[in-house]
Structure 1
């Protein structure tokens, strides 16, 4: 059983990651914290809470994080995720309240009282986690590892060589990558392989439960963002769920330990992750970088997770 805090910016693929975490018997979701990324911080909070209400997990504490990146203006993902950040589905009104403390303090509260080390899963910009690491030095030893969705080796989805989460707050990503805490990085190289094919999305639409109804609508809307020939995908890539999927079964991934540095100053490359795949530099490896995934296993995991809500 992996005890985790999910720091996210829902976001369609964040919603799928959250759903898998709730459904999995191998994951103990201790809290959800939200960041500014796909939408502003107040909206990502409003998105996380209805999702937990939908899945009948109002017991999981939720807190909102920083309103903007550490040093930059916020870039939002409206072009991919719509005005609400979760366009494409009707969500229930949340029937519980968020915590009256910032995300960093909810993290601190859990890490200071939980009896086991906790994994931080970051599917949005690294802002909240960077702030936590900077303020609560005494709790770093309570973190088992940090699993991050972000970056890419020679790939970009927001700029030619930059991935959205890292580009939103590269200074925060740099702090986290240089923290000395064990890091697992799920970059675009593996994310682009984690695709749901059209026939698999059709299977989701045939599942009869409220979670399936919402997830099907979200997938349909999100798929429109990739309906462009320059992507040349056969299916719909789901970035964020790769983090939770790795925790459930790391044997379904191929990975390599590499040094990962974050570019913060480049005129054309700010936000790029410089992944030393061939160990050309003398920099010590600081991350386990995921490069390949068993696509069929991943698709089955998504579908089976949605099906599980028929019996909950």
Structure 2
């Protein structure tokens, strides 16, 4: 049976790949999507999410708009990383789909209550909506089947400050509320945390885009590179490949600008893969907390691996995986989806 997934996203480039990965996976059933302000503002996140569902020719999936701002601080967005609309160089038509009449927090609570023990929550953005949902229904840690979080940095430098990962940085109060609440989760339902320690090893390269085009039977097979001007746009025959090329190329350019190589860290689709197949990752239990008072370390995730705090573990942190196997699954699944949905362009 497919896993029921609630997806909580701040749809930028890698979130959009996570959406496509789930739509391409027979073992996933997205039952609702919460749009969280983060990479771009909440309204743009919602618009991007609806447009991605159109591109993926998805059935009707409820998309609910979340809080406009974090719990305690002003919203910070990152158009420099994800582009002015959050999807890199890509531009998608405005969707005719409509947003839910309920809030993202209400969507979380109602869907999990309706399917106790059956739902996997996947958060690839700030944890604002989930924190608000926990205030409505404190039993969520026991009602969910599992929670997967892309966020944090432990034995690894941050990507926003020297110690901070972006999603936690945007709303550290929400992250702390979530980790504190999930201290009540049973051992087999502790959150799976995909932090920068592992997600920065998930390096997408131009060859992966070419492999996706080949898998989709899209033409021409384009080989993008650091010399491509910003105005370059893909001529791929398949709309999904065309979108991916234009979106991910912006992400390549961003990483290249910061001397990380002509590549892109695919944090969010990796978290989606872990949500569907936890056995694809090696994990280690720890007690996770979030620093809120530090002058230069605010929003840092701290893991007590050795039990020094005398508190039970509240997370299973991913410490190992096989990036090549992940990309093989991504190319196979998304390539097949693109080929199936757009056979006339394949």
The answer to whether TM tops 0.5 is yes
Shift of 1:234: 6.8
Q: Do structure 1's residue 192 and structure 2's residue 200 form an aligned pair?
A: yes
Shift of 1:164: 0.4
Q: Do structure 1's residue 306 and structure 2's residue 314 form an aligned pair?
A: no
1:205-240 residue CA offsets vs partner (Å, 9 max, x unmatched): 443232122112111111111004543x57321011
SS state at 1:137 partner: coil
Shift of 1:159: 0.4
How many corresponding residue pairs?
A: 311
147-156 or 203-212, larger mean C-alpha shift = 203-212
1:124-154 residue CA offsets vs partner (Å, 9 max, x unmatched): 0000000000112355532122110000113
Q: Which residue of 1 aligns with 2:6?
A: 5
Q: What is the TM-score of this pair, normalised by structure 1?
A: 0.94
SS state at 2:175 partner: helix
Q: Which residue of 1 aligns with 2:160?
A: 158
53-62 or 279-288, larger mean C-alpha shift = 279-288
Distance in structure 2 (CA, Å) of the matches to 1:255 and 1:49? 33
Q: Which residue of 2 aligns with 1:38?
A: 39
Q: Do structure 1's residue 220 and structure 2's residue 228 form an aligned pair?
A: no
Alignment RMSD: 1.7
Shift of 1:108: 2.3
Cα gap change, 1:178 to 1:295, in 2 (>3 Å): same
SS state at 2:256 partner: coil
Distance in structure 1 (CA, Å) of the matches to 2:140 and 2:301? 26
Shift of 1:183: 1.0
Shift of 1:52: 0.2
Asked if the contact 2:209–2:244 (Cα under 8 Å) also holds between the matched residues in 1, the reply is: no
Specify the structure having the higher radius of gyration (Cα): 2
Moved over 6 A (4+): none
Distance in structure 1 (CA, Å) of the matches to 2:329 and 2:91? 24
Shift of 1:115: 5.9
1:78-112 residue CA offsets vs partner (Å, 9 max, x unmatched): 11011101121121331321112211112222223
1:152-191 residue CA offsets vs partner (Å, 9 max, x unmatched): 1132000001000001001100011011232111000110
Distance in structure 2 (CA, Å) of the matches to 1:140 and 1:115? 11
Asked if the contact 2:256–2:263 (Cα under 8 Å) also holds between the matched residues in 1, the reply is: no
Gaps of 5+ in 1: none
Q: What is the TM-score of this pair, normalised by structure 2?
A: 0.85
